[in-house]
Amino acid sequence: ALRGGRGPCWPRSGGTRGGAAMDLFGDLRRMNKRQLYYQVLNFAMIVSSALMIWKGLIVVTGSESPIVVVLSGSMEPAFHRGDLLFLTNFHDDPIRAGEIVVFKVEGRDIPIVHRVIKVHEKGNGNIKFLTKGDNNEVDDRGLYKEGQNWLEKKDVVGRARGFLPYVGMVTIIMNDYPKFKYALLAVMGAYVLLKRES
């Protein structure tokens, strides 16, 4: 999405962090107001485009989180830590044993990716089901909220329809090392702000 141009200037003198910061501020000072407004607008357009794509995926897939990263090894060998999952969540599709679902549990912030192992379907169409990680010894009743033995459709964030292996490791690294995340965001922001049209 970014065309030509050059990125931020790297340190020319001594290679120190202070030198890099001085070069960055020097570049910003050399820009006239019109150039600066243009670069800020360009950055805002990139961010809003990403948000629009995300919202579009939510509508198309029916899932509040159409793309998630596997954070643990509980689903190995089907999925490994760092795999990127693509989800759909169409409410008309019945949940069946053997499906891999992503679900939320009350009291836990992070959704869980596990396989449905048992389904109870009542005459009125209500479905309750039990999940388990492929790599776990026991089912997930110990993960559910106290007194809860089954999940319902309302607990489901989505169902796995495809994946890309290990692509999500960047997300895991950024969560494990917040300083790396902020440094990466700062570099990306500086690149967009200081990029010149060739």
- 130: closest CA among 150, 147, 102, 114? 150
- What was the pLDDT predicted at 181? 75
- What was the pLDDT predicted at 22? 58
- What was the pLDDT predicted at 2? 45
Higher local confidence (pLDDT), 71 or 2: 71
Query: Is position 114 annotated as part of the catalytic site?
Result: yes
Higher local confidence (pLDDT), 197 or 181: 181
Is the confidence at residue 7, as pLDDT, over 70?
A: no
Among candidate residues 140, 155, 176, 198, the one labeled active-site is 140
- What was the pLDDT predicted at 152? 92
| Whole-structure pTM value | 0.68
- What was the pLDDT predicted at 35? 75
Among candidate residues 114, 120, 134, 155, the one labeled active-site is 114
- What was the pLDDT predicted at 198? 43
pLDDT tens-digit series, residues 54-100: 999 999 999 999 999 999 999 999 999 999 999 999 988 889 999 99
Among candidate residues 74, 83, 109, 120, the one labeled active-site is 74
What are the distances in angstroms from CA 136 to CA 16, 58, 110, 131, 181? Answer: 49, 30, 18, 11, 31
What are the distances in angstroms from CA 142 to CA 105, 134, 139, 155? Answer: 11, 15, 8, 16
pLDDT tens-digit series, residues 145-177: 988 999 999 999 999 999 999 988 888 888 788
Residue 144 CB contacts under 8 Å (≥ 6 apart), including other chains: 105, 151
